[in-house]
Chain A
């Protein structure tokens, strides 16, 4: 961040990262919805300054995993049934609602797919950024306003002073997402969760927004969890990738490694089926069937009914996520 922002923390800042430990560690997370398993033992880590891509198709559980980090999942019907979510060593699942309020928007910032519905239409841009600052920092209105101008400048909003008094509907989609990023960054979070931040934006604007997030994490050492269905975006920006299917992480690897040598059959099939990987006009190697909804997941490997390399064991035993830097949960890997 190009600012000299040093507002005193209103309450104790979030836990600091232990040396050598990851900033965020999700350990064996289980979430159920209406008694049916939705997330089935997800483990992930992110180090400071790292960008982790979480990819998968709709219904795989990637957004629920991301929302659960700040306990933003609707409880009920959803319920965390096991595991731990450690931020700098402290388990967020053990936090009270009061403690979580200190973490949200402070140690952890979040941006969503649809910036129009995440911004309040009846408050000005300035009010909404200042609110984030005033909530977590013991500063006055003037300092918060000054901070808002700094943030708008950093995220590339032209004429930031004038922009403070504008309303969300006066901005384009790309500018709204920049404002969302400014709000998420207001208290210099150590982790930014970005859930499909550019899916609603055009490709030329998408590139601008992702470049901005990438620059910010390099400047500030903030960790980024980027949730997306776009494998191209992951390839361009992420250090590591975790692929989810049927409520589990099925493969995890450094990004370049994953694209060069996918091991899980689902990852392999996904990479093969995209139009860019095939000569124009040819039949795409499609994946048959559809993603099974929670409650209808088959026994064994959830992907086995769609898998072209299924063997007997896939039908009744769940494969474990095995390996060191490159982990895959597949009985018959590529």
Chain B
């Protein structure tokens, strides 16, 4: 059974002058127990809104989210609280997401207090256990966030997210603000925790090389929609959607200098998305039909594939 099922989820914001901004449009996918789904896309593609809607940090406008077989879309705050034990999130900015006036021990132990788990002594023991789990010294509990480097703060945020032994972790650009040498430490930590704790992870990033390294499956988003989803190896080695191909081509790799396919133009305004396929304004393979008919996310016709792609080239 799927741990998480998202069905036809949409989130619409009311923008300036009453214009509607479709941050997420009709997105469906699932995550199995212990699976890592990478979600990749450029800024404004809706990947962060999607992550937050799943935790109901943002109220979805339409569609449903089911967690462990239960529809959580309509739950109120009170009913949602026990679900949150199993559903945690870490953010990009380890400076902004930790309260500077609390000691690290208080920060990591807070979820235990909120959910009324254990007493003072058992919580302190659990905090020590969590610090060891993320590779921080025990005396870190008595210090303040400003005493730690960016990588160490991200370890603190991870320890806090794991305090309640969640089943699903949403990691929203969790390694994007870190230096290269620190980034690999945190990627290793997340991969190790996943193995040891059987965590399922929704790993949101704009960095395809990081996504490819950690993910079992990858979803590629463009203008609020999933344009391609499938096994990580297939997405990386045989990308089908022209946007996925362009995204892969645009990433410069160390030790290489090559001819690249550079997309023209920029992301269209999400308040005023193009008709038909949202990518048609920048697509190098655009056809007549793309201007008017939006392609559905379907298995590609005539190709052996475990992926689904929303592109008229494959229908």
C-alpha gap A229/B263 in the complex (Å): 23
Q: Which of A205, A235, A287 contacts B254 (CB 8 A)?
A: A235
Inter-chain contact A287/B181, CB cutoff 8 Å: yes
Q: Which of A174, A235, A237, A287 contacts B184 (CB 8 A)?
A: A287
Inter-chain contact A276/B254, CB cutoff 8 Å: yes
Interface residues on B, range: 35 or more
C-alpha gap A204/B208 in the complex (Å): 12
Inter-chain contact B266/A172, CB cutoff 8 Å: yes
- Which residue of chain B has the shortest Cβ distance to A237 in the bound complex? B252
Interface residue ranges, A against B (CB under 8 Å): 57-58, 172-175, 202-208, 211, 229-237, 255-256, 259-260, 269-271, 273-278, 280-281, 283-288, 290-291, 306
Inter-chain contact A57/B181, CB cutoff 8 Å: yes
Query: Is B151 on the interface with A (CB-CB < 8 A)?
Result: yes
Inter-chain contact A57/B180, CB cutoff 8 Å: yes
Give the residue among A260, A270, A273, A288 with the most B Cβ atoms within 10 A: A273
- Which residue of chain B has the shortest Cβ distance to A55 in the bound complex? B180
Please judge, given known A-B contacts A202-B267, A280-B232, whether A291 and B213 are in contact too, CB under 8 Å: no
Inter-chain contact A203/B251, CB cutoff 8 Å: yes
Residues of A within 8 A of B185 (CB): 286-288
| Contacts between the two chains (Cβ within 8 Å), count | 126
Please judge, given known A-B contacts A280-B233, A283-B188, whether A290 and B256 are in contact too, CB under 8 Å: no
Interface residue ranges, B against A (CB under 8 Å): 42-43, 149, 151-152, 179-182, 184-185, 187-188, 191-192, 206, 208-210, 212-215, 232-233, 236, 246-247, 250-258, 260, 262-264, 266-267
C-alpha gap A276/B183 in the complex (Å): 13
C-alpha gap A203/B45 in the complex (Å): 13
Q: A277-B254, A280-B233 are in contact. List 12 more A-B contacts (CB 8 A).
A: A203-B206, A204-B263, A205-B266, A207-B250, A207-B252, A235-B254, A235-B257, A270-B180, A283-B191, A284-B187, A286-B185, A291-B181
- Which residue of chain A has the shortest Cβ distance to B36 in the bound complex? A281
- Which residue of chain A has the shortest Cβ distance to B182 in the bound complex? A290
Inter-chain contact B257/A256, CB cutoff 8 Å: yes
C-alpha gap A176/B54 in the complex (Å): 33
Residues of A within 8 A of B151 (CB): 290
Residues of B within 8 A of A174 (CB): 266
C-alpha gap A280/B187 in the complex (Å): 12
Inter-chain contact A278/B179, CB cutoff 8 Å: no
